[in-house]
Amino acid sequence: MKPIPTGARGSYSLRVESRHLANTFKDSILPPVFSTPYLILIMENAALNAVRDYLEEGESAVGTRVDVRHLVATPVGREVVGRAEVTGTDGRRIFFRVWATDGAEEIGVGTHERTVVNVARLIERMTQKYGPEPSA
């Protein structure tokens, strides 16, 4: 891993479709609004995009902590943009400020943490622990 500067930023956008709604994704009794798990997904992807250029070949950064407040309901058709800014690092751990907007207002805010991993080593450890991946 190359040094990751404080202030590095990334973004990720998603147009809200019916499959992203709380009443489709989680429980039909919920209102037809953008679900919190998808809000977190765009924030996590924004964070990964913020550090992608600093990762070495064979490395990735996996999410290890999320603390997010979902502030505003968002309907189908809106473009949601998640953004992330590196606030610090500690060894392989990377800390972010994350937020999202829907074109009109801020819909979510929080913090996020990712850890840099060697992908091959992670897969090897999982295989040792759980055995080979079953065939489809």
Catalytic residue, candidates 70, 74, 101, 112: 70
Q: Is 70 marked active-site?
A: yes
Catalytic residue, candidates 24, 36, 87, 111: 36
Asked if 12 and 81 touch (Cβ cutoff 8 Å), the reply is yes
Residue 79 has pLDDT above 70, yes or no: yes
Query: What is the torsion angle, in degrees rounded to the nearest 10, for the CA atoms of residue 51, residue 53, residue 54 and residue 56?
Result: 120
Domains along the chain with CATH numbers: 9-130 (3.10.129.10)
Burial class (CB in 10 A: 0-12, 13-18, 19+), 86: buried
Catalytic residue, candidates 6, 20, 24, 44: 44
The model carries a pTM of 0.92
Q: Is 101 marked active-site?
A: no
Report the alpha-carbon distance of residue 101 to residue 127 in Å, rounded: 39
DSSP letter at 62 equals E
Confidence band of 28 (pLDDT split at 50, 70, 90): confident
What was the pLDDT predicted at 27?
82
